[in-house]
Chains A and B, each alone.
Chain A
Amino acid sequence: MADTREDILARLHAILATIPNIRSAQRNNGDITEDQLPAAVLFDGDEDTDDASDFSMRPPHRPTMVSMTPEIVLAQQSNEAGSDLTTLRRELLKRVLTDTALNETIVKTGRNGNGAIRYLGCQTDFGDGRSLTGSLLARFMFKYTLKPDDL
């Protein structure tokens, strides 16, 4: 039994906890209080296949390619929330895009297989609390092979 989607999300969650200065690394918890900041939250996100246009005779349980798009929110509260988030973003990208377990064992990018990890971009939000509160939502795309026989 192997579920690549869950393996990717679990590994992402573990990576978030290794970002320097992060006080709280959570998964799918969208209700953060200020004393948990700086926080990193993983949202599982969606996934898609290209199979909607596949009308071949391929049996439904044969492998197919899936693109999943989890979201990661970094939140911080300080007088320098913007530059703090820039630093957290740098550490996040570095860790996700170069993680050996994620690339070689789970997603199987490059010579290990036909998976892929892509950074799609980020969006920011800022607001006022007792000091400036800011967040950055980073989006990634993971392409992996879904093998129904292995589920």
Chain B
Amino acid sequence: MPDAFGAPLYGPVYAGIGVPATFNAVAITVIDDTRPVTNPAGSGEVRSVGPGAFARIPELAANGIARDAYIDATLIFNGRTWTVRSYELRGNPNGEDAGEVRFLLKAADVG
């Protein structure tokens, strides 16, 4: 199957809405995917922010970043510094290694 997602799809999307980032001091491009989250608090709720970012796995691999380096990595983009606490793989028809990863982030100053 030809690469229908790498250059034809991800390329223009990341060129358009991607932002420069550093992943353990390595320059990559990510898409900021910070979302609101609501956590239960007994009888109430706490509204917070769930920071996340998409990155292309082929770009990470090309920079020597393997999957076992994801957790606890330092990711800096859009003026904030985060720690990767977990991640989700978003494979595509060319396989998970050709897809994206969504980093789930934590630990930056509130506000």
Q: Which of A's residues lie within 8 Å of B, judged by CB?
A: 29-35, 37, 39, 41, 43, 71, 73, 75, 77, 79, 123, 125-133, 135-137
Minimum CB–CB distance for B70 against chain A, Å: 16
Beyond the given pairs A75-B42, A137-B43, 8 more chain A to chain B contacts, judged by CB atoms under 8 angstroms and listed by A's residue number, are A31-B45, A31-B47, A41-B43, A71-B43, A79-B106, A131-B107, A135-B41, A135-B44
In the complex, whether B51 has a CB less than 8 A from a CB of chain A is yes
Minimum CB–CB distance for B22 against chain A, Å: 19
14 contacts between A and B (CB under 8 A): A29-B44, A30-B41, A32-B46, A33-B47, A34-B47, A43-B42, A75-B44, A125-B40, A130-B48, A130-B50, A135-B40, A136-B42, A137-B42, A137-B43
A residues in contact with B37, CB < 8 Å: 127-129
> In the complex, are the beta carbons of A127 and B40 less than 8 A apart?
yes
A131/B40 contact (C-beta < 8 A), A30-B45, A34-B47 known: no
- Interface residues of B, CB < 8 Å — how many? 22
A residues in contact with B51, CB < 8 Å: 130
Report Cα–Cα, A112/B15, bound state, in Å.
74
A residues in contact with B41, CB < 8 Å: 30, 32, 41, 73, 75, 125, 133, 135, 137
In the complex, whether B78 has a CB less than 8 A from a CB of chain A is no
> In the complex, are the beta carbons of A130 and B45 less than 8 A apart?
no
Q: Which of B's residues lie within 8 Å of A, judged by CB?
A: 37, 39-51, 85, 104-108, 110-111
> In the complex, are the beta carbons of B49 and A128 less than 8 A apart?
no
Most buried by B among A43, A77, A127, A137: A127
- Chain A residue nearest to B41 (CB atoms) is A135
Residue in contact with A34 in the complex, picked from B40, B46, B106, CB distance below 8 Å? B46
A residues in contact with B105, CB < 8 Å: 130
> In the complex, are the beta carbons of A132 and B46 less than 8 A apart?
no
Minimum CB–CB distance for A125 against chain B, Å: 5
A residues in contact with B48, CB < 8 Å: 33-34, 77, 129-130, 133
Minimum CB–CB distance for A78 against chain B, Å: 9
